[in-house]
Amino acid sequence: MYKLVSLIGALAFAGASTMAMAGEWQALPTKAPEPADNPTTPEKVELGKILYHDPRLSSSGTVSCASCHNVMAGGEDNRGGSVGVKAQVGGRSAPTVWNSAFNATQFWDGRAPSLEAQAKGPVTNPIEMGMKSWDDVVVRLKAIPGYTPLFAKAFGGSDAVNADNAAKAIAAYERTLITPNSAYDKFANGDLKALNEQQTRGMQLFKDTGCAACHSGPGFNGSQNGQAATGVYMKFPTIENAALEAQYGFTKDVGRFEVTKNDADKHFFKVPTLRNIALTAPYFHNGKVKTLTEAVTIMAKTQLGKDLTEQQAADIAAFLDSLTGEFPKQAMPQLPGYTGKTFDYE
């Protein structure tokens, strides 16, 4: 009888502990925050989706936003460096576009303060989409008859085809790219059976090891629903390790320093979201780490000074796998035609 009472007590304690743990974690919102000057509308979203998938926004006519940020998969391209126009390879791994609306800043170095600002960058980057200017992009868009009514429907006015509206439309579309209702979200919302035993262990280890100090909030990116918070930027690596540096070359990229030219910002990077991270290998800014367990082990060592066992790394990776959410269905858009002719692509 005593053993039975003890067992019931132990189970009750475990249940209470699990409930308390669930209350500490935040589920992903099902709607993204949006700026006052760019409210989300179905017309903007539809236009943005078309622009996002149109390779004619690149100098070669071969690269679209979707080329490097594939919404039919994990929102990036599973490459260490994305391939742009003229087969040029970028120096950083493409971040996922899924849940990017919950980032306080965009790009690894945080140089874009909004999705609208981010949308303008790759189009005129000589390595990525290669257009000489947004003026050239607008000329091309105006030459395609189907775009003018789409812009007018989304923004109104007789001359709505311009760079700002194009960026606003792409950003509006990206704000619909949310992946809620992961196993983790179900747990955070009260379904205490949503995580398996290993994932529950990994969640506790994620907290106890110190990972949550930076990867906090519903996006696991140090941000509260897109608002800046402590930990949006972090130095990487924080703890020097000659062996890891020789293998991966993490410090060859000086990070946010490229934007600010402030020595104090050398090797600082935006804390990336961990949402859907099981789908977005390879890892880190330079895409040199191929597996999630390896990434977990490296982060513990270089950021927290802790050596994880193989089992601990596997448990945390299992928890991170529980952050894979439900993806909204994406029907590929029909691009407006440029009938009977083509552009002079480079």
Q: Which residues are catalytic?
A: 128
Whose CA is closest to 75, among 83, 85, 65? 65
DSSP 50: H
Contact between residue 81 and residue 127 where contact means Cβ atoms under 8 Å apart: no
Give the span between the Cα atoms of 188 and 204, in whole angstroms.
Answer: 13
Give the span between the Cα atoms of 136 and 139, in whole angstroms.
Answer: 5
- What's the one-letter identity of residue 13? F
Contact between residue 287 and residue 93 where contact means Cβ atoms under 8 Å apart: yes
Q: At 300, phi and psi to the nearest 5?
A: -60, -40
Q: Which helix (H) or strand (E) holds 269?
A: strand 268-270
Pairing of strands 268-270, 233-235: antiparallel
> Which residues make beta-bridge pairs with 106?
112
Q: Which helix (H) or strand (E) holds 234?
A: strand 233-235
Write out the two tokens for 297. 């082990």
Cα→Cα distances 5→1, 10, 52, 161, Å:
6, 9, 61, 73
| DSSP assignments along 18-43, one per residue | HHHHHHTS-PPPSS----TTS---HH
> Which residues make beta-bridge pairs with 316?
none
Residue length of the chain: 346
